[in-house]
Structure 1
């Protein structure tokens, strides 16, 4: 086999992030009696993505993101002064219970395991929450190693996150391939670290960063096909 290890991202690669965010956001807003319109939800999604990009680029810390997210958003849209950390803690409790898998995930993990790949996770997220969601989704036991940015103290694409990950596995980067949806975090991180990746572009985004994943797929059956062909490029 060309590779021995596959690293998976979690949110929007294994677990449907849009469904998770929708559930957690509605639960938080309903509990606090804040009106959540479709337009406000779209604004939140764009705002939250911007904060995560700042985190990935090292412009803010995880703690700052946690404090700012709801404090600033609720202040801006409702003119209310709230405890940002308390609201984030509540949001994460709802987020941690949502675990809808994307189509084809479990069949693909079964196939990859049968092929002899070591399956691992590297996620920008909290240790307990990500493990808990993978467990609720019924797929935690497929993975030999689960690493989060909370444990690594760095977020993808920072090379220190990958340093920490590879210090925990006996398989080298040149025997590893990354499968993830995040252009800014997963694909850029793998490229900067010098190993191969497959971009899971199921949201049909543009490659605005001019990155070079080995392959780009839109669904899990396409990824299975790559494994069946031992990730060989056909010219």
Structure 2
């Protein structure tokens, strides 16, 4: 297959999600003088991941996620009643400042461009935040197209966000593959759209959906090798 275009996810594919969450949550709690224990941080991570899975499965909307995340979490764990949307906006302000890249990202993007691939992004996130973080990380200029769920009005794996994406590019899905860490959002979304994918499984999660991407890799060195020799 003559692949000409790569779609990248952002969070935990290009930018380290764990580092981002740590930074944003710690700064939020410090700003309000709330005590963030290791146990509480782990509880938030699990809770937040479950909410994002519900979003990807269409059980809640992005606006609902924004309203309930901190309202429910702080009330249930610290007995604090807050305006959930206001606290989420504070959190996202800190989130937008975090931009630690995963190891090997820049070298691989440079290689992919040298090999002639058109590099693009499709992210479940807010347009300003994702663009700002990519710029802070020094990699925004590698991408000729950046599409977010906020802009498209739909979230991965919904087929409609892929429809929106491909209306913005001249290269079709048959000449495109998706590179992302999200099994439910990225790999399932690409599979359902009839598009090839490479699963960046650097967190070593189980393939509970039994999907069959072109490849599964756990580091950028392996991905770079595939780009150079296989595709």
TM-score range, shorter chain: over 0.9
Deviation (angstroms), 1:131: 0.3
* Residue 132 of structure 1: aligned partner: 132
Give me the whole-angstrom Cα distance separating, in 1, the residues matched to 2:107 and 2:156: 27
| Residues 2 and 230, structure 1, Cα contact 8 Å, conserved in 2 | no
Corresponding residue for 1:176? 176
Deviation for aligned residue 1:230 = 3.0
For 1:145-164, list aligned pairs within 5 A.
145-164=145-164
Task: Please give the secondary structure, in 2, of the residue aligned with 1:44.
Answer: helix
User: What's 2:213 paired with?
Assistant: 213
Match of 1:179, SS?
strand
Report the Cα distance in structure 1 between the residues aligned to 2:114 and 2:170, rounded to whole angstroms.
Answer: 20
| Alignment-derived partner of residue 96 in structure 2 | 96
The aligned residue for residue 86 of structure 1 is 86
CA distance in 1, matches of 2:61, 2:124: 12
The offset of 1:2, in angstroms, is 2.1
Structure 1, unaligned runs of 5 or more: none
The 5 A counterparts of 1:54-69 are: 54-69=54-69
Q: Distance in 2 between matches of 1:201 and 1:189?
A: 16
- Compute the TM-score of the two structures, normalised by the length of structure 1: 0.97
Q: Determine whether 1:72 maps to 2:48.
A: no
Task: Report deviation, 1:209.
Answer: 0.8
Contact kept? 1:25, 1:91, Cα under 8 Å? yes
Counterpart for residue 109 of structure 1: 109
Check whether the contact 1:8–1:120 (CA below 8 A) recurs between aligned residues: yes
Structure 2 partner of 1:202: 202
CA displacement 1:123-180 (0-9 Å, x = unmatched): 0000000000000000000000000000110000000010000010000001001000
Aligned equivalent of 1:25: 25
SS of corresponding position for 1:50 = helix
Aligned pairs, number: 231
What secondary structure does 1:75 align onto? helix
Matched residues in 2 for 1:228 and 1:97: separation?
Answer: 33
Structure 2 unaligned regions, length at least 5: none
Report what 1:42 is aligned to: 42
Counterparts of 1:2 and 1:39, CA distance in 2: 48
**Partner secondary structure for residue 147 of structure 1:** strand
Partner of 1:6: 6
1:3-59: CA deviations, max 9, x gaps?
Answer: 000000000000000000000000001111111110110010000000001111111
Superposed displacement of residue 79, structure 1 = 1.0
Q: CA deviation at 1:228?
A: 1.0
What SS does structure 2 have at the residue aligned with 1:157?
A: coil
Paired with 1:51 and 1:32, the residues of 2 have a C-alpha distance of 23
TM-score (normalizing by structure 2): 0.99
